[in-house]
Amino acid sequence: MSSSCSVRIGGVDVRDMASEQLLASMALVFQDVILLRDTITENIQIGRPGATDEQVRAAARAARVDEVVERLPHGYDTVLDAVGGGLSGGERQRLTIARAILADAPIVVLDEATAALDPDSEAAVQDALATLIVGRTVVVIAHRLHTVATADRIVVLDGGRVVETGDHPTLLAHDGLYRRMWAAQQNGDDS
């Protein structure tokens, strides 16, 4: 990055921010769901330690996972094991989305958040993500291009370098890497 470039959050150069301040400004949703061996409430409260039970439940409702939790024998007091206590991949992912909603950070980073899900689970997670991203800056890291087709700006990387930028229609209009990847994925080659 040249010395004339900077990344700013709220007008402040990230290089001038304390690590804690920078991390507090972001909510992260990863492909590989990370849950603690603790209650569902505690797992969601990671987004905002000390959040009330009602705030946790509101975040779960917004993430479309509240009905799943309420069907469990101990509801929000259900203790999860390291792999999610019998919850599906989509349900576990929606718990992490509830966590991100509760964090209420201005920036959301979605790192392949739906890549490992079946189509039904992906639809439920996409619905929950629609709530999460309202009014926020969203950075989506994805190989499945349909997940970024509605983005305001798409940045295509190849070998760690930016090779194209633009919105979906603009990138499809050019004979570049994005167009070739889009065509390959539409033909069933998800590489």
Sequence ranges of the domains in the chain: 30-106+123-135
Average pLDDT, the chain: 88
pLDDT digits (tens, 9 = 90+) for 39-73: 999 999 999 999 999 999 999 999 989 999 999 98
Question: Distances from the Cα of 140 to the Cαs of 100, 110, 152, in angstroms?
Answer: 14, 5, 11
**Taking the domain 30-106+123-135, which CATH number applies?**
3.40.50.300
Helix (H, G, I), strand (E, B) or coil at 163: strand
Q: State yes or no: pLDDT of 2 exceeds 50.
A: no
Q: Report, as an integer, the average pLDDT of 78-101.
A: 85
Both tokens of 47, joined, read 């987004």
Q: State yes or no: pLDDT of 3 exceeds 70.
A: no
> How far apart are alpha carbons 189 and 185 in whole angstroms?
5
pLDDT digits (tens, 9 = 90+) for 110-169: 888 777 777 777 777 788 888 888 888 989 888 888 888 888 999 999 998 999 999 999
- pTM here is 0.80
Give residue 189's pLDDT. Answer: 63
